[in-house]
A and B are shown apart, each in its own frame.
Chain A
Amino acid sequence: MVSLLLQGLALGVLTGGLYALLASGLSLYFGVMRVVMVAHPAFLFLAAYLTYTVHTTLGVDPFLALPVTVPLFFALGVAVQRLLIARLAPDNLAMMSVLLTFGIALTIEGLLGTIYTGSYKSVSMGYATKSLTIGGVHLPYDKIIAFLVAALTLAVLFAVLVKSRFGQALRATIQHREAARLVGIRTERVAGYGFGVGLATAAVGGTVLALITPFFPASHWVWIGKLMAIIVVGGLGSVTGAALAAVLLGVVEGLVLVTVDATWATTMFYVFLFLTLLARPQGFFGGRLAHRF
């Protein structure tokens, strides 16, 4: 039993790391623009499909698709923000953004279905089904890789947000848009780049997903609930909060799975979501609603 708990804990931490990567973009959009981006998982799978294409046509390791997908997604993000999100009326931005991005998600799903057909695609690498065994606990390589990629991506994201001038401008925009504008920050442009950075994380997340799970055009729907729960528990707009909540929920999920069952494990996301909304609607790790990293 102890070894099973340890195994559940180890898998939970690794999966939580992946969740953190997948949810970070969502948290960023909300922080910068109060945009509820329902299409984020759809973009994850768009990236997974592009990774699949690069991998199958060029025969290279899926991670070598990143130099293509990351800049592409950054540009796509800036375009989506400039051409679509920026045109929404500011008074009901949160609600309208849900409708708009829902439409974007359906469009992506439709496009993927048309181009790639509805059949399952997968990227199977030899190293993805082996595992490292430490003291009876098996750590699958694909999960270790996912965790490391997530950690690296989040570290880069934090460094950008904290150290760079762009990051400071972005954080200023998040904290107080008008004040930021008064000190000369071009908040519109910053918001566009912020959206681009969010989608760039989706490019990385999609590549990792392609490696660990088979996918088809409608795969994204199962993710939106989980990721939304994570960013609400973590505190909307707080990237650190989202990361901590992701690991916490990953561990809870892993432990409940090995001790109780899978249905309860999935339910835990929504149990935590409800508890958070009841006890601390601003989220457990963020400060005031959506005003901090």
Chain B
Amino acid sequence: MARVLKSLTITSMCALALTACAKTDEPGTAQPAGQQQGPVKIGISLPLTGDFAEPGNGIKDGYQVWADRVNAKGGLLGRKVELIFRDDASDPNRVSSDYESLITQDKVNLVFGPFSSRLVIPAAKVAESYNMLFVEPAGAAKEVFEQGFKRLFYAAPAIASDHYNYLADYLIKLPADQRPKTAAYASLDDPFAQGTAYGLRDKLAAAGIKTVVDEVYPPETTDFSPIAAKIAAAKPDIVVGGTQFEDSVGLVRALQELKVQPKLAAFSTGPTEPEFAAAVKGAAESILSPVGWSATATFTGNQEMIKRHKEMFNGEANEDTANGFTVGQVVEAAVNAAKCVDATKECQDKLADHIRQGTFDTVVGKLSFDDQGRPEQAHMIQQYVGGKVEIVLPEQAKTADLVYPKKPW
């Protein structure tokens, strides 16, 4: 008992001493009542290792570039921004405990979302339970918006099923003799990847373009030849892949090997990564992808972000960087408008209300959100034309004409 008392005394003395230190360390800077001292802490868990390590690190870069830009301008409401990163290793259980501890232990002022719908849903549940605003860079599957979250916003131009909208319109409007009649779909068993492919499938099917192959493969699939064999047997006019990087490469190679020559080939994620062209060599030519961001666009802060990213990381910014940066831009605008940045329910509600009603100028264009936090815009469509990535749809953003039918691969 005596020992317990003694240790209690020591602990409380230390605690008192620490409080005193904290106070004396930061003299001056009087803050408005109810606000904490020190930097604005933003808690983020990202898949820095594991399945989603590549996009996870891209988004981390985007967050860092944004924080650097904000701090260069004097911070959020005059306070420096400090990002606290956790690595959830692409594990939905770890992402939950990460946000739990960021909010309760690190006492962050704000949280930003992780990558992938699979991690966004468990993470947003935690944020919601602490009444925290949850703006996320990569949770586009429709399930994300069906959980009844009140403070979740997806800071990108469109949800998964709207990614191919411009392409669907283009194909449906083609003259009857050029219009494709049959289509093959192969998709990774992942809500986002499936969402993109099925958005296009449903629109084309409604317009009378017949679905002849509709395959779903699990993430551990390593061999795509038999799927390609099925597609080869059906001889479709167009091939659409709901893909991530590895499987987009696997499918393109397998389709090439099995001599499938469709009039159009579109893959969701994969062709948008800089490594894609090297991985499939010349086969990249004419491949289409929906893309939420373009390095050539002149949207608010885009060229500045690209330049600063190059200085900080000595590499090219990509869509993931832009998605992370966009989250920062949206939250920054909300904080400046609501004039508060603390973890209380009142402040977080004010921020969420502002985001629900406002329109935001970001590196991916103007963004606005519906009641469930879905963005209300659509993705651009890119294509490899003459070895270069060009924006081919929509009309007002295009840098080149869409090539159709595609060149053989």
Contact = CB atoms under 8 A, between A and B. Distances in A.
A129 B283 contact: yes
B57 A129 contact: no
B49 interface: yes
A91 to B, nearest CB: 32
A213 interface: yes
B229 A122 contact: no
Contacts of A131: 257-259
B318 to A, nearest CB: 10
Interface in A180-219: 212-214, 216-219
A77 B406 CA distance: 49
A20 B53 CA distance: 30
A209 to B, nearest CB: 9
Given A4-B233, A113-B53, A129-B257, A258 B246 contact: no
Nearest to B90: A218
Q: Which DSSP category, helix, strand, loop or mixed, fits chain A's interface?
A: helix
A219 B221 CA distance: 11
Q: Which DSSP category, helix, strand, loop or mixed, fits chain B's interface?
A: helix
A133 B260 CA distance: 13
Contact of B229 (A4, A141, A219): A4
A261 B216 CA distance: 7
Interface stretch (B138-146, B171-179, B271-279, B382-390): B271-279
A11 B51 contact: no
Interface string A245-288: 00000000110011001110110000000000000000000000
A140 interface: yes
A140 B278 contact: no
Interface residues of B, number: 43
Contact of A257 (B227, B232, B258, B259): B227
B225 A143 contact: yes
Interface string A39-72: 0000000000000000000000000000000000
B253 A128 contact: yes
Given A120-B54, A124-B278, A263-B189, A258 B273 contact: no
A122 B249 contact: yes
Contact of A262 (B54, B90, B227): B227
A4 B230 contact: yes
B376 interface: no
A103 interface: no
B49 A262 contact: no
Interface in B370-406: none
A15 B225 contact: yes
Interface string A137-151: 010111100000000
8 contacts: A12-B226, A113-B53, A120-B249, A122-B279, A142-B253, A213-B246, A213-B250, A266-B217
Interface of A: 3-4, 7-8, 11-12, 15, 109-110, 113, 117-122, 124, 126, 128-131, 133, 138, 140-143, 212-214, 216-219, 222-223, 225-226, 253-254, 257-258, 261-263, 265-266
